[in-house]
Amino acid sequence: MERRLLLVSNSTLHGGGYLQHCARHVTRFFGRDVKRVLFVPYALHDHEAYTSTARDTFSCMGYELDSVHEAENPVDAVRNAEAIFIGGGNTFRLLKSLYDNELVTEIRRRVLEDGVPYMGSSAGSNVATVSISTTNDMPIVFPPSFSAIGLVPFNINPHFLEPEPGSRHMGETREQRISQYHEEPDTPCVLGLREGSLLLVEGNKASLLGTTKARLFTRGKPPVEYDPGSDLSFLLTNQRDSGPEGLAL
């Protein structure tokens, strides 16, 4: 079975509602074979309110939505899911809850072995990668590991942005923080997804979708900009110290 992933930078874009900016990509991704989507609301504290928001949105798109927090057995819920959507919020809280409920390995198996479609937004995109080491979030809880689900061999930085022109802020930029991450050995590429961008993965093909560019950071190399519509399939090779040609250095 081929993996199918839709990794979204942000759930809400300025001026629109929840998932409104990417709704057509979501419906195209899940298609009409999927009837029910399993939602994972662990990244936010109020699971009920979060589920209600997601359920209303997915209902408008033509899908029933079940939440894993409502299931008697979360592992069984993942095992029986037609599709999985993990929403945004705090990435540390999300990953800890995934480990606490023994879902990391099961989600990986369902997606990579059974071909179950996986959608993530913000924190949900973070946990689809190698690790959560490039999240923007505060470590409000401590997961047993920073290692994530590992559906792709690189990391993502959602909500990537540059400093505002003329800003007097003297703290590190997002790019500087990613460079600090790459000062450590054996660190994978980091794809900076600006708000409004999303990555579609189908088997060994990856495409940048949305309305904004993405910036790719590779250890020891200058960053590279990619326009919407770009083929980023090279990211699906082993990305530890690899270049944009997809070849290990």
* Residues 179-194 pLDDT 10s: 999 999 999 999 999 9
Q: Is residue 118 part of a domain?
A: yes
Q: How many domains does the chain have?
A: 1
Q: Is residue 185 part of a domain?
A: yes
Q: Is residue 165 part of a domain?
A: no
Q: Is residue 182 part of a domain?
A: yes
Catalytic residue flag (residue 159)? yes
Task: Give pLDDT, residue 247.
Answer: 30
Catalytic residue among 121, 122, 131, 242: 122
Average pLDDT, the chain: 93
Task: Give pLDDT, residue 239.
Answer: 52
Catalytic residue among 66, 69, 159, 179: 159
Catalytic residue among 121, 137, 182, 197: 137
Catalytic residue flag (residue 100)? no
Q: Is residue 248 part of a domain?
A: no
Query: Concatenated DSSP letters for 51-105?
Result: HHHHHHHHHHTT-EEEEGGGSS-HHHHHHT-S-EEE--S-HHHHHHHHHHTT-HH
For 28-62, write each residue's pLDDT tens digit: 999 999 999 999 999 999 999 999 999 999 999 99
Q: Is residue 241 part of a domain?
A: no
Catalytic residue flag (residue 137)? yes
pTM of the model: 0.93
Q: Is residue 133 part of a domain?
A: yes
Task: Give me the domain span that covers residue 89.
Answer: 4-160+172-236
CATH of the domain at 200: 3.40.50.880
